[in-house]
Structure 1
């Protein structure tokens, strides 16, 4: 039987958690203020982004233009971001699942995002994100099986 390695490194978890909290706080603030510049602050130049409906966007400039248009027309209503789980895959790589829940009960679009953060020259950057629509109204831990 194949021995499977555990890839997380608990010794780096606190740093990874702080990095994810920082990125998520900027996402939250950017969404609250409808400001794509704030929202995309931590995105790397070569970010790979998976949209909730299957689109793949590569590169900051393309993604920033999309987010700017969405923010201008406030396409995503008021929402709350919730960090579900964070794993440190090394001293400079973090993996996180983050749930976005609409605050308006009439807004039924919720999503779970998988983020990959990488540290370069002392700063953490969002290297990739994948958004997946989920059923609204469930707590993030309802499906959190380890």
Structure 2
């Protein structure tokens, strides 16, 4: 039986790249600005929604984010939190970043099964470095619900 490979590589920049990316998402959300939110998205970014939609390219994804940011803010604030970083090459990083719905005191709300309630999400992002700049190549998000295999 063949041993499973360890695919991680040493990358001093991976953690910084992911934290910078998450800070950009937070700034875009906080300022309700899709340009800021998407400034690190590659032209051919692929996005998978939790409901099975596949969005192909920045030109298709950006107008969706513009629409979301233009809607009146209702519900809780959110905080982006880096949960895991895995460099698989010096120029490719896979990251899990949670978008946590916050209660009135700024604490994360507990997961809920009620689709009408605010919910947190976990997203997997693939970042690729080109010419010294890190870009989002792919993302997939899913709501965080109670009863997950591992605690949040």
Identify whether the pair has TM-score above 0.5, normalized to the shorter chain.
Answer: yes
Structure having the larger proportion of residues in helix: 1
Contact 2:28 2:37 in 1 (8 A): yes
Determine the C-alpha separation between the residues in 1 that align with 2:14 and 2:128. Answer: 9
Q: 2:49 aligns with which of 48, 51, 56?
A: 51
Superposed displacement of residue 92, structure 1:
0.2
Q: 1:109 aligns with which of 116, 119, 134?
A: 119
Query: Match of 1:108, SS?
Result: coil
Query: Match of 2:100, SS?
Result: strand
- Partner residue, 1:142: 151
RMSD (Å) for aligned C-alpha atoms: 2.0
Stretches (4+) displaced over 6 A = none
Determine the C-alpha separation between the residues in 2 that align with 1:76 and 1:45. Answer: 31
Task: Rate the CA distance shift 1:76–1:128 in 2: closer, same or farther, 3 A.
Answer: farther
Superposed displacement of residue 77, structure 1:
4.5
Gaps of 5+ in 1: none
Count of residues paired in the alignment: 138
Q: Which moved more, 1:97-106 or 1:47-56?
A: 97-106
> Which is greater in Rg?
2
Q: Which moved more, 1:67-76 or 1:118-127?
A: 67-76
Map residues 38-117 of structure 1 onto 2, 5 A cutoff.
38-73=36-71, 74=73, 77-104=76-103, 105=109, 107-117=117-127
Determine the C-alpha separation between the residues in 2 that align with 1:120 and 1:101. Answer: 30
- Partner residue, 1:8: 8
